[in-house]
Chains A and B, each alone.
Chain A
Amino acid sequence: MALIIRQRKIVARPEDERLVPLAQWNGEPGVLLGTADDPAALKGRLDRLSVIAIEFPQFTDGRGYTIARLLRERYGYKGELRAVGEVLRDNLFYLSRCGFDSFLVSDQSRLDDALEGLGDFSDGYQASADRPQPLFRRRAA
């Protein structure tokens, strides 16, 4: 049974969960996006979804970060957003800033360690999905 980190807790991945690749997706509650997919395809249909997974074929393929921000910040997706594929502890902080709140971490044997990765930094300069106001606006406030 695979474990995921969701909302900063280690939980079992729901057994009946089905993630349908975007090309075959037809309104099911779970969809899987590849890094070349355009999230605009889900525009206006996001309220049917309870989980969107974005696949990282390699952790060095950074397109998924942009897709996540677009889903959160442009299209207003509020549900679970999961990183799957090659997902490493050292990427969790950036991923969470881009709007991911759920992670299927590749190394299932060190999930406690991975959880710590979410706290590598206490702040960030930029506007981001998890904190829309950049640091300079919060400083000025």
Chain B
Amino acid sequence: MYLYDEIDQRMVDERVRQFRGQTQRFLAGELSEDQFRPLRLQNGLYIQRYAPMLRVAIPYGLLSTRQLRKLAAIARKYDRGYGHFSTRQNIQFNWPKLEEVPDILAELAEVQMHAIQTSGNCIRNTTTDHFAGVARDEIVDSLVWCELIRQWSTFHPEFAFLPRKFKIAVNGAVADRAATYLHDIGLHALRDGDGNVGFRVIVGGGMGRTPVIGTVIREFLPWRHLLTYLDAILRVYNRYGRRDNKYKARIKILVKALGAEVFASKVEAEWSHLEDGPATLIEEEVARIESRFTRPDYAALPADDAWSRGKLVADKAFAAWARRNVHEHKVDGYAAVSVSLKKTGAAPGDASAEQMDAIADLADRYSFGELRVSHEQNLILADVRQSHLYELWQSLRALGLASPNIGLITNIIACPGGDFCSLANAKSLPVADAIQQKFDDLDFQHDIGELDLNISGCINSCGHHHVGHIGVLGVDKHGEEWYQVTIGGNQGLTRPGAPAALGRVIGPSFAREEVPAVVEKLIEVYLEHRDSEAERFVDTVWRIGIEPFKERVYGTHHQTAEDRRAA
């Protein structure tokens, strides 16, 4: 956990004071709705369908138990007793009162938290691999670099009013668990032949209305130049990004319009002026940031814990959980554990105040008082002794937090959708629930194997449907809610030979009640065609194409409820 120094703390305190003043001026009629909107958005405050929504930043997904308990307390005191963990490693409260938001921000500041730049057309919360710092396949620990980017992006005076929002993701492992090819900027922390750290720089990826896989514009940027190079990219975007149409304002549209090579040459030209300037990073600063991170005090343990291994044989339910929810750790004798927030019947990513407190207790007992939020909307206890896994599992099971479904079909990513969000065309939560109900049988889920099923309630793609192996998108047709289905998407190089990919639409959209049966048909085709159990759903789609799936879903006549209705 990065610990603020007095300057970091002062900036957050000053932000609370500033926003309190802005809110008072708005309530007093001194600021118009149009003037207040960008100010509140830069503090994560939306006006939603039924109430304001406050999005609190969890920088790169790292959270202390003290902070989680504070989030629980806020959920109780200012909200309806729960929070929603989002696909950008943040948490959202759906029912705060506008006039109380400054008080919430003040409480957050007490535990070194804030809602700075969690919305608005500015640089948003930087995200990373939820196993950063503990991953067995780690190349570089990305946490230090994420904090450097957090500080650089916080109140960046030049880039507070960009053409559109701007998202940066950093990955420092062999597997890309941060969807780096689907961000405005994706960074891969690497090492050169001499072990020096640098970054592969990817620009112009993104989801939304125009999904694009990003383009590499630098294969290896030495770490000293990280911030000046980011400045150069942002400056080119700020100057030349479109501002006339918000649907064409993201950096991906600029990169496409110019062509990646021309865009890259503009960045290089801009950077030539900034290179080696005062914003060039220095070793002292990297060391200072590193020294402000608390790191777990690991015990020297054998690589393999025989007692846990015995339990795996003796207890089938524990084995099923361990297989899906326990992950390899870079330190012998330890493991990372996913706490599933995807129990059937619960909204994906939601946690009650009681669950947050209970998870905080478990993190204190078993994982050095820290946890992570994953972009798949689960919580991670990153540093658990293998010999504690069994009792941790028992505790999680008692709390309803041990669904053994990480990577499986019921680990659904879903945005809050039309139940809460004023942008949504359709509800996403009832669809997620219906699919979870249909596939609730654990043996069947495990037989289907790894499958990312992602649901967005509108084209803004908060539910990452474009990169779901199966994606479901809520669309509006003549005022009614319909759902379009895509297959073959992939969030990133999570395993060799499977790069980031965008799903393809299988055909006309469906009524809500049809969606679970459609998913079932897609699964049937997969199970009939897979060449082995090692071939995942998405691998089969890539191998045989989408036609066999279309054929099964729509039949020879490709008729849907929509067609029938139109007929």
Contacts and interface: CB of A to CB of B under 8 A. Distances in A.
A90 B26 CA distance: 12
Given A97-B157, A122-B14, A61 B279 contact: no
Interface string B145-166: 0000001101111111110000
Contacts of B162: 62
A60 B163 CA distance: 8
A128 to B, nearest CB: 6
A63 B239 CA distance: 6
Given A126-B158, A127-B277, A136-B281, 9 more contacts: A62-B121, A63-B238, A65-B157, A110-B30, A121-B11, A121-B14, A123-B10, A125-B152, A126-B279
A74 interface: yes
A60 B22 contact: no
A122 B161 contact: no
A74 B22 CA distance: 34
Given A61-B243, A125-B152, A128-B157, A137 B235 contact: no
B157 A98 contact: yes
A135 interface: yes
B375 to A, nearest CB: 25
B278 A98 contact: no
Given A120-B18, A124-B155, A140-B282, A61 B11 contact: no
Taking each of A59, A127, A135, which has the highest tally of chain B beta carbons within 10 Å of its own beta carbon?
A127
- Residues of A in contact with B, size category: 20 to 34
Given A88-B35, A120-B14, A132-B278, A125 B151 contact: yes
Given A121-B11, A140-B284, A66 B238 contact: yes
A69 interface: yes
Contacts of B158: 62, 65-66, 69, 94, 98, 126, 128
B288 interface: yes
A90 B39 contact: yes
B273 interface: yes
Contacts of A140: 282, 284-285, 288
A6 B45 CA distance: 33
Interface of B: 7, 10-11, 14-15, 18, 22, 30, 35, 38-39, 121, 151-152, 154-162, 235, 238-239, 243, 273, 277-279, 281-282, 284-285, 288
Contact of A123 (B11, B22, B159, B238): B11
Given A123-B11, A133-B278, A61 B161 contact: yes
The 8 A-B residue pairs whose C-beta atoms are closest, nearest first, are A62-B161, A97-B157, A136-B285, A94-B157, A127-B279, A140-B284, A125-B151, A65-B158
A124 B14 CA distance: 11
Nearest to B287: A140
Given A126-B157, A136-B288, A66 B235 contact: yes
B279 A125 contact: no
Contacts of A66: 158, 235, 238-239
Given A62-B238, A94-B160, A98-B157, A123 B282 contact: no
A85 to B, nearest CB: 13
A134 interface: yes
Contacts of B151: 125, 135-136
Nearest to A141: B284
Contact of A60 (B11, B38, B235, B278): B38
Given A66-B238, A123-B7, A59 B152 contact: no
Contact of A126 (B18, B30, B152, B284): B152
A61 B160 CA distance: 10
A105 to B, nearest CB: 13
Contact of A127 (B11, B22, B278, B282): B278
Given A60-B38, A61-B243, A66-B235, A139 B285 contact: yes
Interface in A35-57: none
Nearest to A90: B39
Given A133-B278, A136-B285, A139-B288, A59 B157 contact: no
21 contacts: A59-B35, A63-B239, A63-B243, A65-B158, A88-B35, A90-B18, A94-B160, A121-B14, A121-B155, A122-B10, A123-B10, A125-B11, A125-B151, A128-B158, A132-B278, A134-B278, A134-B279, A136-B285, A137-B278, A139-B285, A140-B288
